[in-house]
Amino acid sequence: MLMMYGASSLTGSVVGLVIAVVGTVVLVGRILGEEKMLLTELDGYDAYKQKVRYRLIPHVW
């Protein structure tokens, strides 16, 4: 994610920034879907989720 946003800001590309935003939305959707699957199929994932509070960005989300 840092590379996507950094490259588009260094080059001043608005198209690159739009692609980075779309990529971030896709990544968040995939994370939520995988987490849902892990909760139903993996024993102990609920306890792990309580221990590790953040998914992608520490202290944010």
Higher pLDDT residue, 15 or 59?
15
- Measured CA to CA, the distance from residue 25 to residue 56 in angstroms comes to 12
- Crossing angle between the packed helical segments 14-41 and 2-11, to the nearest 10 degrees: 170
Q: Would you say residue 55 has pLDDT above 90?
A: no
- Measured CA to CA, the distance from residue 33 to residue 26 in angstroms comes to 11
- Measured CA to CA, the distance from residue 35 to residue 50 in angstroms comes to 13
5-39 pLDDT, tens per residue?
999 999 999 999 999 999 999 999 999 999 999 99
Q: Would you say residue 58 has pLDDT above 90?
A: no
Q: Would you say residue 60 has pLDDT above 90?
A: no
Q: Are 61 and 54 in contact (CB under 8 A)?
A: yes
Q: Report residue 9 as tokens.
A: 């800001």
The pLDDT value recorded for residue 3 is 92
